[in-house]
Structure 1
Amino acid sequence: MVGLRERKKERTRRALIEGALRLFDEKGFEETTLAEIAAEADVSTRTFFSYFASKEDVVFYDMDERMELMFSALARRDPGVPPGELLITIIDDILVQAATQEGLTYENTELRVRLILTEPTLQGRALQLLFSSQLRLAQALHEAYADRLTLTDSAAAVGALIGAVKLAVMSGIEHERSLDELWARARRAAEVVQSGLRSLG
């Protein structure tokens, strides 16, 4: 059971995220200061740094959770599960987590995508995170299936699946009007590459 202290920390973190996104939308990313974000959550700037290292980190607030989910799935995998099937399961777990995330709205998702597409600082950070996370996952997948997959196999599979899902979500922002529709689009993208992934190993 989550204790009072942890619940309070999660509320503060959520307030910082929601306050920051609101300010980014109203004032612009570059124009928003850390002090303003902290004030929105009724905490000090020093407290902000207890949760995030920078404004950029607020936009990518769920990256660590997603990476933890991926590596946890790899660690507890059934040895009999083919690598392609495991990757599909990992993506589905991430989509389920996103769909059930408290406080996540279509508007916030839309704003995050718009910020990443238009702010040079965030574009650079997004590419860095995308590259590093895919490389780490590819290496972990290769190690988990060292007798069946080369590092090239693992890298190609991870790049194809994650790239397809991310691009499907980003391209769907202007066409869908709910999180459920976006997640359906992401799942469809995973299905498109699924047949190729099932041939792995």
Structure 2
Amino acid sequence: MGEVPGLRERKKLRTRRALTAAALRLFMEKGYEQTTVSEIAMTADVSTRTFFSYFASKEEVLLFNSRENLGRVLRTVAERRSGESAADLLARAVGAVFDVVSADAEIEWEIASVNHLIMTVPSLRAHALLLLFDTQREMAEALHRACPDELDLVEAAAAVGGVVGAVKLAGFIRLNRGAPPAEVMAACRRAAEMALAGLRAISTPPA
């Protein structure tokens, strides 16, 4: 059971969430390029200086949830249970992210909004691709460290790439068809389960 955040941490979290929500709503209403940092700060009822104490730029607002989710995955993978297979470990790590996101409609909306912006704002696409590459690299390296008895680095990369690729593509397809955030997350979860089922089938020796 995790520690309950103190008052200071809860206040910081509320401010960060207010800035994120304000930024995403402005990006969706006005456009990413047309929105300024001062407008985001004003909408969140904080100073521009406060904005920069949380985020280095507008772009950083879009990356925060991705980095938090990566942190959850890496922490889970680092705590491999005795006898746990690589496929089951990866399933538990990805499931931990889905559980957190699905339990909070605001986070669900934030992630869907970020993905919509990535699909529609050309200046964000290159950065999103680099972030996706770095995320998968870190996940693959962590999975290999946790399961050196089962996967070499190439196999770990293939496992991570298959799951993350399935999740991203399923999510983007549902978003592109106008599905609400909850349906997008359901599609992502189903895609992950299918990719993991394939990984288990490959890694299970024939009877």
Q: Return the TM-score normalized by structure 1.
A: 0.91
In the other structure, the counterpart of 1:67 is 70
In the other structure, the counterpart of 2:155 is 153
- 1:37-186 alignment to 2 at 5 Å? 37-101=40-104, 103-106=106-109, 108-175=110-177, 177-186=179-188
Q: 1:135 to 1:115 in 2, by over 3 A?
A: same
Q: Does 1:32 align with 2:31?
A: no
Q: Distance in 2 between matches of 1:181 and 1:28?
A: 24
Letter in 2 for 1:28: G
Measured after TM superposition, the shift of residue 47 of structure 1 is 1.0
The SS at the match of 1:81 is: coil
Q: Distance in 1 between matches of 2:86 and 2:102?
A: 24
The SS at the match of 1:23 is: helix
Measured after TM superposition, the shift of residue 16 of structure 1 is 0.5
Q: Is the 8 A contact 1:34 1:45 kept in 2?
A: yes
Measured after TM superposition, the shift of residue 109 of structure 1 is 4.1
Measured after TM superposition, the shift of residue 121 of structure 1 is 2.2
Q: Distance in 2 between matches of 1:184 and 1:44?
A: 37
Q: Distance in 1 between matches of 2:26 and 2:181?
A: 22
The SS at the match of 1:166 is: helix
Q: Distance in 2 between matches of 1:200 and 1:142?
A: 14
Q: 1:23 to 1:12 in 2, by over 3 A?
A: same
Q: 1:67 to 1:110 in 2, by over 3 A?
A: closer
Measured after TM superposition, the shift of residue 176 of structure 1 is 6.1
Letter in 1 for 2:88: E
Instruction: Tell me how many residue pairs correspond in the alignment.
Output: 200
Which moved further from structure 2: 150-159 or 61-70? 61-70
Which moved further from structure 2: 49-58 or 189-198? 189-198
Measured after TM superposition, the shift of residue 167 of structure 1 is 1.0
Q: Distance in 1 between matches of 2:113 and 2:105?
A: 17
Aligned-residue Cα RMSD (Å) equals 1.8
Q: Return the TM-score normalized by structure 2.
A: 0.89
Q: 1:109 to 1:145 in 2, by over 3 A?
A: closer
Q: Is the 8 A contact 1:23 1:37 kept in 2?
A: yes
Relative contact order (alpha carbons < 8 A, sep ≥ 6): 1 or 2 greater? Answer: 1
Q: Is the 8 A contact 1:38 1:45 kept in 2?
A: yes
Q: Which runs of 5+ in 1 are unaligned?
A: none
Q: Which runs of 5+ in 2 are unaligned?
A: none
